[in-house]
Amino acid sequence: MRVLVGWDKQEEVDLLQLYLNVDDNEVVIKTDWEEFLATAKQGPPWDAFLINTGSPDSDTAFKAFQKLLEFSADHPVVGAVEQNDVYRIARFLTSGMRSYVIRDQNKDYMFLLQAALSSAIDAVRAERERLISEKLRQEIDSVRKLQESIIPRLLEMPSGYGVQGRYEPSEISVYGGHPVTMAGGDYYNALPLPDGNIALIVGDASGHGMKACMSIMTLHTLIQMFPSKRYRKTSDFVREINQNLSNQTIVNDDGGFITLLYGVLNPKKHTFEWAAAGHPLPILQRLEDGTIEEVGDADGVGMPLGIWEGAEYVTQKIKIPPSSRLTIYTDGLAEAFHDQEDGTHIEFGIDGIFEILEKTADNSLEQTIQALFNASHKFTRGVGRHDDTSMLIVHRN
């Protein structure tokens, strides 16, 4: 550490150097207040200051202390006070002095100076980290609220169908051990189209924080801008979205991308046509016979959005049978994991999703989603999901 000392006795300078110049410390000692303040102001930056609080008198020392704080308030100041002058130290402490040592006649206090300075520096660093972590929480919370503002609270479906969606962000732990709910990059929606069809959308921007949030906000804006009725195929719609996102540095900077499943449900013909960009396949659950399966062709899943402007996408189509459920989700659900004692990495996986869907076949959509989120979270053994998680479940009566 770099320490600047303002002292009153020239004959003690060598002794101070002896006690303080240890390890990698760099110590500079001034016995004149003007020289001390000039050195403090000019730098280079100091980690801490040690000053006497009574030379030539307490008032003069206090004024010098106040001047020091004007340009170096972020660095700790430790005082050295004569034993018969301890009562005067109060105003120093209430004005920002971190700590003090009492100067005894035998100079035993010299042994305490190194520890007092180190403790003061550690205390300031801890406080800075606390303030930074609190600022981080506030920033993340602001971004998270922005992202959550585009996630619909109410989803409407035509007669004969029901729908339920849910989004849950990941969490991280910052200084102090308190979890912070991260701003995420997941998105879902069910949008009524002019022709009576319903657009079902689930997206997932890579990463977390501001970048992921702004990426998904950009996706949301593009989806609102491009009327789906212009596109006869969902693959054409996804291709144009990709072409626009590929030119957005907010998305593809540092290798960023978005996975997307965009589909159109025809409630009259009971068909679902979709195109996927790097996204998990939908899951179809037939409640009458209990079968559950991923539907569609994995080879038809195109490249994630924002990577290559020329990427092509394929429209896939299935029939929605009576009494069935269609589940669309982001990979945060399946990729919930825990590590075993041998270090093996085990994920909740598609099998975990199938198991819960089977167990909740008679439950409401809300209860089913809750059970899926609970089970995947429990699978992490208290660690929690490391990725945002979103899903839509559509039920045909």
DSSP 302: B
Helices in 201-262 by DSSP H: which ranges?
A: 209-225, 234-245, 249-252
Q: How many whole angstroms separate alpha carbon 193 and alpha carbon 188?
A: 16
Spatial contact of 208 and 170, defined as CB atoms under 8 Å apart: yes
Spatial contact of 64 and 36, defined as CB atoms under 8 Å apart: yes
| CATH numeric code, 152-396 | 3.60.40.10
Spatial contact of 192 and 198, defined as CB atoms under 8 Å apart: yes
- 203 beta partners: 187, 260
Spatial contact of 60 and 8, defined as CB atoms under 8 Å apart: no
Whole-number pLDDT of residue 289: 96
- E strands present in 267-372: 271-277, 283-286, 292-294, 316-319, 324-329, 337-339, 345-347
- In degrees, rounded to 5, the angle at the alpha carbon of residue 54 between the alpha carbons of residues 49 and 56 is 110
Instruction: Give φ, ψ of 292 to 5 degrees.
Output: -135, 130
Model confidence pLDDT, tens digit, residues 312-366: 999 999 999 999 999 999 999 999 999 888 888 899 999 999 999 999 999 999 9
- Which residue ranges in the chain fall short of pLDDT 50? 173-176
111 alpha-carbon distance from chain centroid: 44
Domain ranges of the chain: 2-128, 152-396
Q: Find tokens 């030119």 and name the residue.
A: 247
Total H helices, total E strands in the chain: 11, 19
DSSP 254: G
Whole-number pLDDT of residue 173: 47
Cβ burial of 112 (10 Å; 0-12, 13-18, 19+) is middle
pTM score:
0.69
Model confidence pLDDT, tens digit, residues 94-116: 999 999 999 998 999 999 999 99
State the helix-helix crossing angle for 365-379 and 349-359, rounded to 10 degrees.
140
> In this structure, which topology does domain 2-128 adopt according to CATH?
Rossmann fold (3.40.50)
Q: How many whole angstroms separate alpha carbon 18 and alpha carbon 346?
A: 57
